Amino acid sequence: MEVYNINKKYKNETRENLANNILSMRYERDWSQEKLAELAHSSAVYISNIEQGKRNVSIDFIDNIAKIFGVPTYKMLIENPKIQNRGRVDSKK
């Protein structure tokens, strides 16, 4: 039972890291969810759901997003100390 709890907690933290990193990198570039979705061959709703931590994401998608942002794939999954807790953020521009 404890292993399950540890894995579940880790999964949530990783999902939160991914969401925060995508949002942060998107804002740094002043991109809307629609712009990122276009570049990622996805939809703005899907990007929104990822940023809210509501969606599971494939490794291929994470790799594609990392390439779009020009960062190593692993950086999408690790905690970025520059990012503080955030509230709800709506699509920009």
Condensed to tens digits (0 to 9), the pLDDT of residues 28-54 reads 999 999 999 999 999 999 999 999 888
| pTM recorded for the entire structure | 0.76
Please check whether residue 37 is in contact with residue 44, taking contact to mean a CB–CB distance below 8 angstroms: yes
How confident is the model at residue 12, as a pLDDT?
79
How confident is the model at residue 1, as a pLDDT?
33
- CB burial of 3-20 (b: ≥16 within 10 Å; e: otherwise) equals eeeeeeeeeeeebebbbb
Task: Give the number of other Cβ atoms within 10 Å of residue 62's Cβ.
Answer: 18
Domain ranges of the chain: 2-76
Which band of pLDDT confidence, cut at 50, 70 and 90, is reported for residue 67?
very high
CATH topology of domain 2-76: 434 Repressor (Amino-terminal Domain) (1.10.260)
In whole angstroms, what is the distance from residue 89 CA to residue 52 CA? Answer: 9
